[in-house]
């Protein structure tokens, strides 16, 4: 296993972009490719804010939709970032013990960490489902998307909660794939 600092140094010098780790499987590669779409959300958000500044301060005609849209775009990009980090093995971990053990124990820790992360993601997906149920369906069962309550009133809260649920489910599947692939990885 490569040292993370060495990997970052090689990337900085060569300009080579790191792909999803092999243990992430096909799902990790898909997550990696789709990541560009969500990275573009930040550029679109910046463009919208520049437009809003122009509309407000030059034309004296501010928009109703700019702020809520940029918040929504940035929020979905940040949520996707969690799945992206898991596929690239760039998530936060406490390495105090991890760095002190040998390769066999690291492999075992990778499996255990992935399983703990799976159960965490599954638990949060369940909690997210509870939020989705309240934000998408009215008490009588009709579909009624929760809205922001502003003058423009888009259904961004409901859409954001649905997206979070979907990404937590993807994250749970990604951690199961990681645990499986770490477990079957040949010992060194």
- How many of the other CB atoms lie within 10 Å of CB of 174? 27
Q: Per residue in 23-67, pLDDT tens?
A: 999 999 999 999 999 999 999 999 999 999 999 999 999 999 999
Q: How far is the C-alpha of 17 from the C-alpha of 120, rounded, in Å?
A: 29
Our count of domains for the chain comes to: 1
pLDDT at 130: 97
Q: What does pTM read for this prediction?
A: 0.87
Q: Which two tokens stand for residue 58?
A: 């030059």
Tens digit of pLDDT for each residue in 69-124? 999 999 999 999 999 999 999 877 778 888 899 989 999 999 999 999 999 999 99
How many other CB atoms are found less than 10 A from the CB of residue 156? 21
How far, in Å, are 70, 96, 152 from residue 51 at the CA level?
Answer: 11, 47, 17
Range of the domain at 93: 4-184
The pLDDT value given to residue 13: 59
pLDDT class of 1 with cuts at 50, 70, 90: very low
> pLDDT value at position 7?
56
Task: Give how far Cα 144 sits from Cα of 134, 137, 172, Å.
Answer: 9, 5, 28
**Integer Cα distance of 92 and 84 in angstroms:** 13
Contact call for residues 21 and 87 (beta carbons, < 8 A): yes
């Amino acid at each position: 296993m490569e040292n993370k600092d060495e990997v970052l140094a090689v990337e900085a010098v060569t300009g080579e972009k790191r792909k999803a780790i092999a243990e992430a499987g096909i799902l990790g590669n898909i997550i990696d490719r789709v990541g560009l779409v969500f990275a573009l959300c930040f550029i679109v958000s910046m463009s919208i804010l520049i437009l809003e500044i122009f509309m407000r301060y030059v034309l004296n005609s501010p928009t109703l939709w700019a702020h809520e849209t940029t918040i929504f775009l940035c929020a979905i990009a940040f949520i996707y970032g969690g799945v992206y980090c898991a596929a690239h093995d760039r998530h936060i971990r406490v390495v105090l013990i991890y760095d002190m053990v040998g390769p066999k124990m690291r492999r075992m820790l990778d499996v255990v960490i992935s399983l703990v992360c799976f159960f965490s993601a599954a638990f949060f997906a369940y909690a997210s489902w509870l939020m989705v149920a309240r934000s998408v369906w009215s008490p009588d069962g009709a579909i009624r998307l929760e809205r922001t309550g502003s003058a423009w009133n888009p259904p961004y809260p409901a859409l954001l909660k649905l997206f979070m649920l979907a990404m937590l489910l993807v994250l749970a599947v990604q951690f199961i794939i990681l645990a499986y692939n770490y477990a079957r990885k040949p010992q060194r």
